[in-house]
Amino acid sequence: MTVKNEVDDGMRKEQTPLQDSDMTGGTCHSGMANETSRLDITRETCPMTFVRTRLALDRMAPGEVLRVLLKGDEPRRNVPRTATEQGHAVLGTEEGADGTVSLWIRKAG
């Protein structure tokens, strides 16, 4: 069974099974690797957008994938850039109809 960890307000929530709507053929909709954790920073402003992302990545094992939900131009530029500068791999992005962007990051290690 595939599970996801949801991260909200900097705290890891209980693992919940991924729904079929979360996956397509074993990968995320955009073809990214399966996410291990999900973080919603759509209501955050810089610098908290990357602070929360970094805290989530710090709790993950190397090679795990974090899906970050973000909104706004500044986080779209800064979160992927800063993750790359810290050695993590940005696997890709997907823009939603509501302006929310999904960003997949593989933890370095």
CA–CA distance, 87 with 15 (Å, rounded to integer): 27
Q: Which of 46, 51, 55, 90 is catalytic?
A: 46
pTM: predicted TM-score of the whole model, two decimal places: 0.72
Active site residue 28: no
Angle between helix 48-58 and 73-85 (nearest 10): 40
Enumerate the domain spans of the chain.
Answer: 3-106
Where is 32: in which H helix or E strand?
none
pLDDT single digits (tens) 31-79: 466 899 999 999 999 899 999 999 999 999 999 999 999 999 999 999 9
Q: Is the omega angle on the peptide bond into residue 75 within 30 degrees of 0, that is, cis?
A: no
Q: Select from 3.40.50.300, 3.30.110.40, 2.30.30.30, 3.40.930.10 the CATH code of 3-106.
A: 3.30.110.40
